[in-house]
Structure 1
Amino acid sequence: MTLADLAAGIAILVGLAGIVVPVLPGSILILIALLAWAAEDGTATAWTVAAVATLFLVIGSVVKYLLPGRQLKQTVPNSTLLIGAIFAIVGFFVVPVVGALVGFPVGVYIAERVRVGAADAWPSTKAALKAVGWSILIEFVAGVLAATTFVIGVGLT
């Protein structure tokens, strides 16, 4: 194992954490680590591994927007999601890291309460949280598949 292998592996782990706790752009960090590793290694095997892992990340990104996104658009309008995102950003700065996780549902609930009333606000909020959860899970699985491909690639190079 080389220093480049270790550095890429650490960057990929940080990217996986960034998917679950949205502080860092997880998939992008994983992709950059894979491409830097392949460029450093320079072998055809490394580039093949990077291409396969990139394919997993691209498929994951497409699926995460298609499946949960479609369900989300049927339940909650974009304006509600925008308010949830604003609350997440404010929450992130008020209570670092976990504030975003609290701010998003609070923002969605408040926006939905204004839009549809108190009785229907919580079901809409739950639907939004479920869609976001599925989106995170899909991206995380794609990241794990890319990371697994990387580990196999390190073994092959």
Structure 2
Amino acid sequence: MSVLGEVLVGVAILVGLIGIVVQVLPGSVLVLGGILVWAIMTGGVEAWVVFGIAAAAIATAEIAQWVIAGKHLRKAKVPWPTLAVGGIAGIIGFFVLPVIGLFLFFVGAIFLLEWARHKNVSTAWGSTKTAVQATLITIGVQLIGALFASGAWVVGLLVT
């Protein structure tokens, strides 16, 4: 693969890592997609081993995020429909108030739903904090998996 191609793959991986943190782009998909393009264009056993390692890291992170965050939410008794509505509100908020609306609408929707459910502001705020913590857990786990995949790609660059 040419140097320009490798730089473009690196940019795709970087955009994917940013997408994981900002939660606007499908970051893990971009990271793995970039590494897949690199593996196809580079060819050889080493490139495909790197892709396999990256795919395993991303898949493990995707599964782990649901298990760990789900356990956190079940412990706090925050229902999944509340998170789904919060997620939809966050997406709408992103377009109403670019970037910051995502967070504000997500938190606001969860707080309002939990307040309506519990009829208690402090309980609703506790549930909202738990939901935000679970979101941060998913971001952290996804980021760790994608960074591991990215590291495998860097090693692959050096080997090939």
Give the shorter-chain TM-score range: over 0.9
Counterpart of 1:86, as a letter, is I
The normalised TM-score by structure 1 is: 0.95
RMSD: 1.1
Q: Which runs of 4+ in 1 moved over 4 A?
A: none
Task: State whether residues 19 and 27 of structure 1, in contact with CA within 8 Å, keep that contact through their aligned partners in structure 2.
Answer: yes
Counterpart of 1:91, as a letter, is G
Tell me what 1:91 maps to.
93
Task: State whether residues 86 and 107 of structure 1, in contact with CA within 8 Å, keep that contact through their aligned partners in structure 2.
Answer: no
Flag structure 1 segments of 5+ consecutive residues without an equivalent: none
- Displacement of 1:6: 0.9
Counterparts of 1:119 and 1:71 in 2: how far apart (Å)? 19
Flag structure 2 segments of 5+ consecutive residues without an equivalent: none
Counterparts of 1:36 and 1:119 in 2: how far apart (Å)? 49
Tell me what 1:70 maps to.
71
Counterparts of 2:4 and 2:117 in 1: how far apart (Å)? 54
1:124-153 Cα offsets, whole Å, 9 max, x none, are 111111111111100001111111111111
Counterpart of 1:58, as a letter, is A
The normalised TM-score by structure 2 is: 0.94
Counterpart of 2:158, as a letter, is G
- 1:135 matched to 2:135? The reply is no
Percent sequence identity is: 37
The aligned length equals 157
Tell me what 1:29 maps to.
30
